[in-house]
Amino acid sequence: MLETVTRRKTSSGAGVTFFAPPLEGVGKTESTVRAGNLAKRAESSDQLVQTNADGNVAIAPIIEWSYDDVFTYLGMCSNGLKETYSDFKRVIEIYREATGECVIAGSDSNRPASACGSRTGCYTCLAVKNDRSMDQMVQEPHNAFMRPLAAFRRFLANTFHDLSRRTWVGRTIDANGYIRFAVDGYSPAMLQELLRYALTIDINERDASARLGIAPRFQIVSMEALLAVSAHWSLQGFALPYTALKIYRDIERGARYPVPDVPEAPKMVIPSARYIHVGRGWCDGDAFMYTGLRDVMIDAFGGGGCIGQREIVSKGERRTIMDVENSEMFSIDAEGAGMFMLFEFDRVVDEWHGPSARKPLLIEGHHFAGIEYRNYVSYGFLSVAKGQEGKIDEILRRTAWRERLGLAGYQYDHERALSMSVETPVPIIPSQEEMLANHRAEVAGRRAYKRRQLGQKRLNLVDLHRDWAPDVSWRRLVQSGQLKMVAIPRERLGRLVLRHLISPYRLLAFLKDNPLVMQRICAHRQRAAATIGDLFRLAA
């Protein structure tokens, strides 16, 4: 096994720069998928290979090694038979704990290549049904602190096929104006359950580490991650405002939610997808005018204030949105998040979940979609990825649509949603007015294309003499300045000559002002009337 070396440049001596390429400890025998990916990238054990479109390079020294080769080498290093910078004893110890046996004696040349044989750091990975390496590792006394992580993974694995823990309402409008009603990701209730377990594991680890006088050995949900979860739940309408923060506060105040040991849900036949009608978009009608990434209060004050607003064009539609902070990707600023948690945390949680919470507004049909998300944007600690403002605006409008139909996470009723669905979507039949408008748009598009083609064409004096009228002195008209043509110099037979060109548009303008020339052209061309008429009509 080789420890990955980060790609970097190092300096040694005056003006001398060395490049240290990444060393990848990957091998073809790990799995069939891994072997295929390595072959696709043409990775090599003795040559630097570009591994992606960004120009990154790497070398894989043990790409041809077997499982036995790797651990034989590690054994030689740990016994001093090889001079290396490390004896790799800790690496061998980790693998021994993961397999429950001596990694050298327990190796098997006929071992099948499967995903996640013995690996660390993937406690939420469900690539295999049972992570025996993790279950074995946490039996060691010094690894006992990771047992809650193993329990968390077992819960994920045992509930994977439990359809009652899944959401069903789709997110994309198809060509017929419907969304899918089918098994999808985790339901809002399941997400809240997972957050409770994760935060409980975190605070238990924090308390245990404090008793030992050491720093916490892991953390599942950081403060920035908690606010990102809160923003995402708001964006998707999974819960009432600040539900994630309320869960966090409850746990900080003493509530605990240990991971339950649930039986494995049997694999079930996935029901066929049904469909719920939406229409052509999420925001039809005045009721949706102020949905999306738009703040009513900013509009009320004329778009002023710290945030302000701006206009974007998303899918051909002009929208007014908040002037949000942008970064390379979605991010939560740690300092801004800390200030929010210090000064605003309790206030916003009490406002929506305290004794005088605003829940009665639900009865009055008020709209809550995106309250947290817009607030975090207005505080300035949430940055939207560049170019994603239109997508965020669309998602928030979709959430508002779900809310008004009773399909948001905090109000979702599966039987009601099922009653709204149909087995087969009905194709949209355009009205007579829509068909006429589409036909006009198609004709206008063809005419615009022909005008562009015509505008790009250029005629020279030979074309005018041969195809338009040989009895018109075109060159004299150019020399006298009556016919404006562009003179382009070019080399011909070793000398520089001028090539005079004119666009059909300029020629038509000239002919309108010179009817005698037009008469000669019509007389020269027997079918000139139709041809010239077409030219004028196309240029109009």
Cβ burial 169-200 (10 Å sphere, 16+ → b, else e): bbeebeeebbbbbbeeebbbbbbbbbbbbbbb
Averaged over 237-246, what is the pLDDT?
95
**Residues 490, 367 share a domain:** no
Of 14-18, 150-154, 335-339, 462-466, minimum mean pLDDT range: 14-18
453 falls in which pLDDT band (50, 70, 90)? low
**Residues 498, 390 share a domain:** no
CA distance 74 to 89: 8
Number of domains in the chain: 2
Tokens standing for residue 404:
């008004």
Averaged over 259-272, what is the pLDDT?
94
**Residues 407, 464 share a domain:** no
Query: Other C-beta atoms within 10 Å of 407: how many?
Result: 22
**Residues 381, 291 share a domain:** yes
CA distance 84 to 67: 20
Helix (H) or strand (E) holding 310: strand 309-314
**279 in the Ramachandran plot: left (φ > 0), alpha (ψ -120 to 50) or beta?**
left
Strand order in the sheet with 421-422: 178-181, 274-277, 421-422
Nearest by Cα to 383 from 342, 323, 311, 299: 323
Instruction: Give the pLDDT score at 365.
Output: 53
Q: Is residue 481 part of a domain?
A: yes
Contacts of 45 (CB under 8 A, 6+ apart): 59, 60, 61, 62, 63, 64
Complete DSSP assignment for 208-224:
HHHHHTS--S--SS-HH
CA distance 498 to 386: 50
Give residue-wise pLDDT tens across range 24-55.
Answer: 888 888 778 888 888 888 888 888 887 766 66
CA distance 202 to 11: 42
Q: Pick the more confident residue, 397 or 479.
A: 397
The number of C-alpha atoms within 13 Å of 213 and in the hemisphere containing its C-beta is 0
CA angle 104, 109, 115 (to 5 degrees): 90
Nearest by Cα to 299 from 316, 284, 319: 319
Q: Is residue 241 part of a domain?
A: yes
Percent of the chain scoring above 90 in pLDDT: 37
Domain assignment of residue 517, given as a range: 458-539
Q: Is residue 334 part of a domain?
A: yes
**Residues 472, 342 share a domain:** no
Instruction: Give the pLDDT score at 262.
Output: 96
Residue 325 CA from chain centroid, whole number: 18
Of 26-40, 327-341, 495-509, minimum mean pLDDT range: 495-509
- Position 180 pLDDT exceeds 90: yes
The number of C-alpha atoms within 13 Å of 110 and in the hemisphere containing its C-beta is 0
Structural domain ending residue among the three candidates 405, 422, 439: 422
Instruction: Give the pLDDT score at 103.
Output: 53
Query: Other C-beta atoms within 10 Å of 418: how many?
Result: 12
Averaged over 431-451, what is the pLDDT?
83
**Residues 466, 415 share a domain:** no
Instruction: Give the pLDDT score at 286.
Output: 65
Tokens standing for residue 286:
């005045």
Instruction: Give the pLDDT score at 300.
Output: 77
Give residue-wise pLDDT tens across range 59-118.
Answer: 889 989 987 888 888 888 888 888 888 888 888 777 776 665 555 544 444 554 454 455
Q: Is residue 402 part of a domain?
A: yes
Q: Is residue 99 part of a domain?
A: no
Residue in this structure with the two tokens 């302000």, named with its chain if needed: 308
**Residues 469, 401 share a domain:** no
Of 77-91, 124-138, 156-170, 472-486, minimum mean pLDDT range: 124-138
**Residues 404, 463 share a domain:** no
pTM for this prediction: 0.68
Structural domain ending residue among the three candidates 422, 444, 473: 422
Helix (H) or strand (E) holding 491: strand 486-492
**Residues 465, 413 share a domain:** no
Contacts of 62 (CB under 8 A, 6+ apart): 1, 2, 25, 26, 27, 45, 69, 70
Q: Pick the more confident residue, 373 or 480.
A: 373
Tokens standing for residue 295:
């703040």
- Position 383 pLDDT exceeds 90: yes
For residue 128, CA distances in Å to 133, 320, 402 come to 11, 47, 35
Structural domain ending residue among the three candidates 376, 404, 422: 422
Mean residue pLDDT of the chain comes to: 82
Of 128-137, 270-279, 472-481, minimum mean pLDDT range: 128-137
Question: What sign results for the dihedral spanned by CA atoms 440, 446, 450, 456?
Answer: positive
- Position 335 pLDDT exceeds 90: yes
CA distance 96 to 101: 6
For residue 530, CA distances in Å to 416, 443, 449 come to 65, 20, 20
Instruction: Give the pLDDT score at 275.
Output: 95
